[in-house]
Chains A and B, each alone.
Chain A
Amino acid sequence: MALLSLENLTKRFGGLVAVDGVNLEVEKGESIGIVGPNGSGKTTLYNVISGVYLADAGKIIFEGKDITSWPPYKRTPLGIGRTFQIPRPFSSASVRENVAVVAMFGTLSGQISVEESLRVGDRYIDLVGLNRHREKEAGSLTPVEKKLMEIARSLAMRPKLLLMDEALAGMHPKDIDELVTSLKRIRDEENIAIISMVEHIMRAVVGFAERVVVMHQGKKLVDAPTAEALRDQRVIDIYLGRPVQE
């Protein structure tokens, strides 16, 4: 049984069909990169999966449960974590509290105490390298640090499926490589399926994803192993412009 399967998923905004009959299966522990031009429906797809928007048609099945109409706060503890494209820190709280609050409410275990969630949070803060800034107010972090905190928060949800929305954009290539390495390690250790949305950084796609899904005008255009997808003529035409040099 697939971890996540989307059946004919559709989301409309008035006359605009942002996500148009998407079918997708995600297995446990898989790494998938979603790419596509701006406006191709990637973020909307994320919002429908995480419950920010409700689908107009189609089904979302997670571990065999039909969660299509569930509210977001019930989906997260089930194991669907996400990051936001523009980080949304709880600005007045410290980095530590920001991550702890997610460990407290975003996990299935539910009964975890405040002290315990602070400890769990610290582990992920350490992992993304924000240890020095633990006591800082989240609002005073730099944009890149906010992105790192966003990743730490999403990991503290202990997700089975992690949706990363351009989490690596705007970072130094060296940092990207480092983060991709630690994400891979966590993926293998905790058996998380990661769907990462990457708009421009092919470096991250190639280094990270085993499979690439290309979106175009709300539809799934290509769904294939990374190397194959990036050689696909349609993908080159609508998105890449020229073949990716490996």
Chain B
Amino acid sequence: MKEKLTKYYPLIPVCCAYLILFFTGKNVAGIWQLMAVLVFYCALGQVFNIFLGMTGYVDFGYVAFLGVGTYGMALSISRLSQIQGLGMGVIVIGLTLALLMAGLLSVAVGAVALRLRGAYFAIATVGVNEGFRYLIEGAKIWGGSEGIIFSGHLNRILGREEASALSTYWADILVLIIAVVAAFVTIVYMRGKIGYALTALREDEDAAKVMGINVTKYKIIAFITSASLAGLLGASAWALKVTYVFPPDAFQINYTVEAIIIVLLGGAGTLLGPIVGGLIYGLSKYWLAVVIPGFQLLIFAPIIIFIIVVFPEGIVGWMKRRVKGTALQRYLL
């Protein structure tokens, strides 16, 4: 039993980090929005890490799952607002729908694209994202290119006060919860059989097959898990927070690139990596935008190249090596 618990010790620093972010935001005036952005980046990394970090497959269309999740929430709020007495139930339905839609999309994409490897997989997934966006715009489904604006619906369902509290406070709390859930799922996977299978296939897929591992099965499990959580993230961080959705915003490839940077910066396949990556990325992006507005990307690119050259396994990957054999080892994963 004791051994069982020590397996989950690496969750301690993760939870501490999120608690610090939460209490800083709550107690320091005027800083909540910044903290919310940081938590979003951490959550994005945490969720994406389950797929990118554990399988080593780069999905350039990842933002599509957040986008679809956003639509799931938008649809349920805008379509169900006529029904009386649902109240917060609409949000629960929205989250469920977001989870299901992102999950279903990942099954469809995974069944086809996960048969491809390396660069081919990456290219195929870019296609998925763009294709989905043009499908919505071209076929005029879900409001087409005009998107869905549902702040009015939300006000009608919850009342103005509640609706405003939802998008300025509770949406951020939801993001925080999703991040913690994603971290928990990550460690359960890493400590379980699936973690072993994923490590093997990440290192050498052909050898893994000969060792008796059904690689496609485990890739798809990781993909669906990661995508479903991304759907939830889209539903809370985007839909509930901004209360509208437009196809170009929901399927913007920038977010995929940001997610990849966060995961690689922190350390792909580590538990703490997405938090470290998310904080560094979020803070430096914010700081550079204040100090040298307009030039932040110019400065940012070399910094990222520098970090990736110095820490090829990511910062947490490097730290893990340093603490090997010390008492800290069991807290860092």
Q: A residues within 8 Å of B by Cβ?
A: 50-52, 71-73, 76-77, 82, 84, 88-93, 97, 100-102, 104-107, 114, 153, 157
Contacts and interface: CB of A to CB of B under 8 A. Distances in A.
Interface in B217-272: none
B212 A88 contact: no
Contact of B193 (A51, A89, A93, A104): A104
A73 B131 CA distance: 34
B204 A90 contact: yes
Contacts of A92: 199, 203
Given A104-B193, A114-B192, A93 B199 contact: yes
B312 to A, nearest CB: 12
Interface of B: 191-193, 196-197, 199-200, 202-204, 206-215
Contacts of B210: 50-52, 72-73, 76, 82, 84
Secondary structure type dominating chain B contacts: helix
Nearest to A139: B203
Closest 6 CB pairs between A and B?
A: A76-B212, A106-B212, A90-B203, A88-B207, A105-B212, A101-B196
A114 B212 contact: no
A118 B120 CA distance: 35
Contacts of A72: 209-210
Given A90-B204, A104-B193, A114-B191, A97 B211 contact: no
B203 A73 contact: no
A44 B257 CA distance: 41
A97 B199 contact: yes
Given A50-B210, A114-B196, 10 more contacts: A89-B203, A89-B204, A90-B199, A90-B208, A92-B203, A93-B203, A101-B211, A101-B213, A105-B193, A153-B211
A89 B197 CA distance: 13
A76 B191 contact: no
A105 B215 CA distance: 11
A107 B204 CA distance: 19
A102 B209 CA distance: 10
A89 B204 CA distance: 8
A99 to B, nearest CB: 10
Contact of B215 (A73, A77, A97): A73
Nearest to B317: A92
A102 B212 contact: yes
Nearest to A78: B212
A130 to B, nearest CB: 17
B224 to A, nearest CB: 19
Nearest to B321: A137
B193 A102 contact: no
Nearest to A88: B207
Contacts of B211: 73, 76, 101-102, 105-106, 153, 157
A64 B211 CA distance: 22
A105 B195 CA distance: 12
B212 A73 contact: yes
Nearest to B214: A73
Nearest to A71: B209
